[in-house]
Amino acid sequence: MSDSKSPARSMVLLAFLAVYLIWGSTYLAIRFAVETMPPLLMGGVRFLVAGSIMYVFVRVRNPEKPTLLHWRSAGIVGGFLLLGGNGAVVWAEQYLTSSMTVLLVTTVSLWMVLLNWARRDGVRPGLFELLGISLGICGVAILVGGSRFSGAEGIHLGGVIALLCGAFSWAVGSIYSRGAPLPKSPFLATAMEMLTGGGLLTIAGLVLGEGSRVDFAAFSTASLLALGYLIVVGSFVGFTAYIWLLGVSTPAKVSTYAFVNPVIAVVLGCTLGDEPFSGRMLVAMVVILSGVVLITLHRMKAASPVEVGDVGAELPCGCEPVVVVEEARLIHE
């Protein structure tokens, strides 16, 4: 993988498979982890451990020394992405299935378009983007519509609201990271964001009384394995494969994970997690993903090259924040 000029086709395929499967599987892993672990503290430990290891590794190999300004920016990005975005995911998965969670998280793309439009120098969404937003809203309405559409059991309204707010927070953090003063190394910036975001998650968990819920004897094997999976596989293997792909493929191709991850998450949730999957959820998934596809394809069509590290990534809330190459003027992967 060190030769990015002419990588083996098999390595490229394996890297795409890793990004598709690993990031799609993090939602089910989170569900297993929060079954016996306090959600915010679990998320805090995940990112503090992953961020610490990555930070030490990068600092040993990279002479760049982060400044106080870099740490402040990383704290803001980590707060919006991890405390607001990922924190909402881990909390909501106490009450919602991983399949429903990932479908609601895809509304990040809708928030990105709306926030980009609302800025002072914002870009007005085109017809296809407006159609994509409309489809996304309709999909969410179908998903939480309850028995009116399928006779299914009621949905935890608090979890739905938390996820929609978390997606909004993730979009705000992604937009802020575009112009934030961060280290040039995307690995160093990500490590700092995980450290600050993990610290904020831990503080929030303690403030909300999760410390009293920590019972190491009650931690199940499934929860411990899931936490280890999130740290090692989700944070390191998937992230490394993603960064490497950006160097050997086009951002437009790499960004196809936005279409695949929700499907992978739903399939894994239903097969490995024994989660129910109704006709209502299928219709909602098709409608929401159609909206995401319209928005993403429109951005790809309007793409023009920009500098490496110019923007913060728009990733699913269950994943890690990164700074990546972007082909489009608009805010996206």
DSSP 118-132: HSTTPPPP-HHHHHH
With contact defined as beta carbons under 8 Å apart, do 29 and 93 qualify?
Answer: no
* Half-sphere exposure in the Cβ direction for 16 (13 Å, CA): 20
Q: How far apart are CA 28 and CA 268, in angstroms?
A: 7
Token output for 124: 């007005």
pLDDT value of residue 108: 85
pLDDT value of residue 247: 75
Residue 213 DSSP code: G
Below-70 pLDDT ranges, the chain: 1-6, 146-154, 251-252, 298-333
pLDDT value of residue 146: 55
Question: Tokens 């082909």 map to which residue?
Answer: 327
CA distances from 184 to 55, 66, 70, 203, 332 (A): 14, 9, 10, 28, 19
CA distances from 205 to 45, 48, 214, 276 (A): 11, 14, 11, 30
pLDDT value of residue 310: 36
**Angle at 265 (CA atoms; ends 267, 23), nearest 5 degrees:** 140
pLDDT value of residue 331: 27
Q: What is the pLDDT of residues 109-163, one digit of tens each?
A: 888 888 888 877 777 888 888 888 888 889 888 887 754 444 445 678 899 999 9
* pTM of the full structure: 0.83
pLDDT value of residue 152: 46
pLDDT value of residue 321: 60
| 3-state secondary structure at position 220 | coil
pLDDT value of residue 43: 96
